Structure 1
């Protein structure tokens, strides 16, 4: 396997020089483990937001209404930005 690191190459080399890791493979495995942890945390945050949303006592709104409000909000923002230009 060939991996091109670009600007991260210097980071890999610093970690090897420090003795923290003994090979580029160890650095890459540690990086992948960190990404896996980050993904797991993000998944749990999203699951919690869904649970909170489902438990919310507010009445459901039709999608058409929600999207109409979003379009109006966006249009107002664009209009305000254009006035400020």
Structure 2
């Protein structure tokens, strides 16, 4: 693990210390690592959403689409139509 030193104004240092004690972190480093992980996850999600938004349209996602997915899973799992209906 690498070490990084940061400088914070007193009010931010006090905020970090308060978060560490109130939210159960062992150290300020644990708190900062968690913030970085969340930001990394947020950026990854943002990039996925942007990629999806810029991708070409596909078939409509409606009840028929989801029923088709369910049917594929049923066939894959070997569940008979009768068993699905509880007959």
Normalising by structure 1, report the TM-score. Answer: 0.53
Structure 1: stretches of 5+ with no match in the other structure: 57-85
Which deviates further from its counterpart, 40-49 or 12-21?
12-21
Where in structure 2 are there 5+ consecutive unaligned residues? 59-87
Per residue, is there more helix in 1 or in 2? 1
> Match for residue 38 of structure 2?
34
CA distance in 1, matches of 2:22, 2:29: 15
Q: How many residues align?
A: 54
Aligned residues: CA RMSD? 2.1
Aligned position for 1:17? 21
Deviations 1:26-77 (A, max 9, x none): 01110111111111111111011111xx339xxxxxxxxxxxxxxxxxxxxx
Q: Name which of structure 1's ranges 4-13 and 20-29 shifts more when overlaid on structure 2.
A: 4-13
Segments of 4+ moved more than 3 angstroms: none
